Structure 1
Amino acid sequence: MSQDAYAGWRTVLAGLQMLFVAFGALVLMPLITGLNPSVALFTAGIGTLLFQLITKRSVPVFLASSFVFIAPIIGIIQQYGDDGVAVAMGALFCSGFTYMVLAILVAVRGPGFLHRIMPPVVTGPIIMIIGLGLAPIAVNMAMGKTGDASAQLFPYADAIWVSMPALLVTLLVATLAKGIFRLVPILAGIVVGYSIAAFMGMVDFSAVNNSAWVAVPDFVTPKFEMAAILLMMPVALVAAIEHVGDVLAISSVTGDNYVEKPGLHRTLLGDGVATSAAALFGGPPNTTYSEVTGAVMLTKAFNPVIMTFAAGFAISLAFIAKFGAFLQTIPAPVMGGILILLFGSIASVGLNILVKARVDMGQQRNLVIVSTTLVFGIGGMTLGSLEGLSLCGLVAIVLNLVLPKADETEDLHEEEEIVEDMVK
């Protein structure tokens, strides 16, 4: 085999490895929300290719499902019944425009703009609410119930015997595994939990046996409802902040400044276009993936072409109907056990943002913003048509803008340092 052919095969296999790393969380999002995992695979691939087109294929990232949107998607699906998925897709399509507006503002005003409207004292509690607000879903599923506890799917004892080993394996792999295996704790938890569930007779394979080998995924056409759109669009602000962190992380890994070239405005636009495109087919919103960043760091696979192959594999798997049917056989307790750690980790990330930014909770201003945001979110406060993350995000941003700062000069210096770090 020639050297060029060998290098080509290594690139292809690296692409498959990247999809393997992202796979667990990629399919978990649609399974939690009731979306089709085959459609999620398809839209992850399409979204990645669109992102590469917009960023001139210069950033080695793979786009897939964002957990930030879980709560609003579930809420909309429950509210609108049979049209719930279509209405949620319409709202997600419009949420992509939030990214696009932010991309324009960043292009005009610079990357420090996002930090000024959403500093750590705002983003920290909002991200904590995402994890803590989803906690009941994880616990209910771990105990064999539906996410909203409306029905008991499996006996409690059986569910615990499945969910707890799945949780234990996930956390052990996340903390003790070495190399590439440390990047796939969710997948490891799914494999172990699923194996135990199958042994206990909790898995129904009839859908797999009755499905064709190859079929077009069940795409969904969006429907547009203003109330759902207003609920979903502000959530994209949180996802955009998450995106900025991912871009800075991948920049530090590769040594290239993606904030400057291709530019944060292009990467934000790429996420927005990918999210809107995914919604047109019935897929979950797309975002850059932290797990893939870890894999890039570990393997030194800096070539963006690798992500092109990962996207191609994802699109191909979407048309294997038996594979999609198999994914939908994963019992709720398996997912519940893993989600206990996953949703808790999201809340911990929000707390870590406050700690790393050294947000002084002794200052009344910071205490007011964080405490009000947390109680609104965890307590389920509603003001008119605003609720959930949309309300929390708006309240936190407004309080941050209107409340006087203890030391304007010190705050200005802090903002300038953060912007300088982003640009360096």
Structure 2
Amino acid sequence: MNTATAHDPCRYVLRLRDVLLGAQMLFVAFGALVLVPLLTGLDSNVAFFTAGLGTLVFQLVTRGRVPIFLASSFAFIAPIMYGVKTWGVPLTMGALIFSGLLYVALSTLIRFRGTGIILRLLPPIVTGPVIMVIGLVLAPVAVRMALGLSGDGAQQLMPRSTALTLSMSALLTTIAVSLLGRGLLRLVPILCGIGVGLLVAVGLGVGNWEAVHNTPWFAVPGFVLPQFSWEPMLFIIPVTVAPAIEHFGDIIAISSVTGKDFLREPGIKNTMLGDGLATMTACALGGPPNTTYSEVTGAVALTRAFNPAVMTWAAICAILLSFVAKVGAFLNCIPSPVMGGIMILLFGAIMVVGLNTLVRAGHDLLEPRNMVIVALIIIFGVGGMQFDFGSFTLAGIGLAAVTGVLLNLLLPRDNPRD
């Protein structure tokens, strides 16, 4: 061994730089990462742990070649909220594990048939409206929270004027930072919105922080083991359509940023497999499903931190943070109108992403076939349509996804090549 190389101070400086960059990446992902557990009632510390562990699983499957971070998926917020309320956390986690298994099945299909088969099953005319439905279904929850109401709108938890002051301060800050921020600041608008909302809450004397004082500094996250039942599995599986397609977009984005074709090497079949196994691992411990984070991709573009080892350190930082119990207690004490204000923008942005998917595809939406597909997906998904199959009910985002896939396969095309 060359002792000069072994003790080269430059190597340690580079490692320290990677550690700091990794912590910075976690900071960028922080706001979006904690939003899902806060809205769905899952444990925030578990979400930190499973985001880190899921990222490490993804890196293992993709042989550490893709500089990307995985954490809580927005697409599953509505079904998790419904699942936890209806069946409880363990059965909901079991259903989400099965949802991750669908990613694995898709990766296998791509491995043997190529990406074309997925694009034929899930073209933009299907995925665009389904993504729009996700944002539109969640919109009432955001507005109710912003107005100081309970999630179902039945109770006024705080005076409306106070709630609006909190929610609008958080919303306007998030908008201002996303539009006017520079450098890394522009990548953390959610975090800035939460921070300003909290300052306003403290100024108004809103919030009870006693739980933070009573919580020990360090504790093992409250992991939850899954249970399995067919009804929640069948309910949640269709929702996987939207994030599976979103995965394609995220891999294309990080490929563009780094100048490497990750669709070819390690291949979308392996990145999809890594995403699926990461989701299954996370949900097996009681965490939300994982997805690739576009915020972190933006940070990679800004910092030019193309080394995947940076994401390894981000994952390690997330796992270490999960054992700081006061962090979870603090997040749970954030007044709900603060989160409601930010959610208004986030869920609206999800809807716009779906709309943009349709626009970029260039489809004529007044063409009868396209009109039928888009119209039924959106109205079935948002309007409350449901179909009962024994004890199983198909509704909401799941119904929208199934409707889109079936209509696309069954309705005749004017041009067979479309």
- Aligned residue for 1:162? 166
C-alpha contact 2:135 2:349 (8 A) present in aligned 1: yes
Offset of residue 86 of structure 1:
1.3
- Aligned residue for 1:307? 311
C-alpha contact 2:127 2:241 (8 A) present in aligned 1: no
The residue type equivalent to 1:205 in the other structure is: W
Offset of residue 359 of structure 1:
1.3
C-alpha contact 1:98 1:237 (8 A) present in aligned 2: no
Identity across the alignment (%): 54
Question: Residue 412 of structure 2: SS of its match in structure 1?
Answer: coil
- Aligned residue for 1:16? 23
2:399 to 391, 415, 418: 391
Offset of residue 11 of structure 1:
0.8
Q: 1:323, 1:386 → 2: CA distance?
A: 37
- Aligned residue for 1:403? 411
The residue type equivalent to 1:33 in the other structure is: T
Offset of residue 104 of structure 1:
0.3
Q: 2:354, 2:260 → 1: CA distance?
A: 27
Offset of residue 93 of structure 1:
1.1
- Aligned residue for 2:70? 63
TM (norm. structure 1) is 0.94
Question: Residue 71 of structure 2: SS of its match in structure 1?
Answer: strand
- Aligned residue for 1:419? none
TM (norm. structure 2) is 0.96
Q: 1:286, 1:166 → 2: CA distance?
A: 26
Q: 1:309, 1:3 → 2: CA distance?
A: 18
- Aligned residue for 1:415? none
Q: 1:146, 1:20 → 2: CA distance?
A: 29
The residue type equivalent to 2:245 in the other structure is: I
Question: Residue 235 of structure 1: SS of its match in structure 2?
Answer: helix
Q: Give the alignment of 1:22-421 within 5 angstroms.
A: 22-80=29-87, 84-384=88-388, 385-409=393-417, 411=418
Offset of residue 408 of structure 1:
2.3
Q: 2:377, 2:241 → 1: CA distance?
A: 15
C-alpha contact 1:57 1:305 (8 A) present in aligned 2: yes
Offset of residue 147 of structure 1:
1.9
- Aligned residue for 1:2? 9
For structure 2, which runs of at least 5 residues remain unmatched after alignment? 1-7
Offset of residue 114 of structure 1:
1.4
| CA displacement 1:148-170 (0-9 Å, x = unmatched) | 21322211111011000100000
Q: 1:277, 1:21 → 2: CA distance?
A: 23
The residue type equivalent to 2:31 in the other structure is: G
Q: 1:105, 1:221 → 2: CA distance?
A: 29
Aligned-pair Cα RMSD in Å: 1.0
Offset of residue 389 of structure 1:
1.5
The residue type equivalent to 2:253 in the other structure is: A
Question: Residue 408 of structure 1: SS of its match in structure 2?
Answer: coil
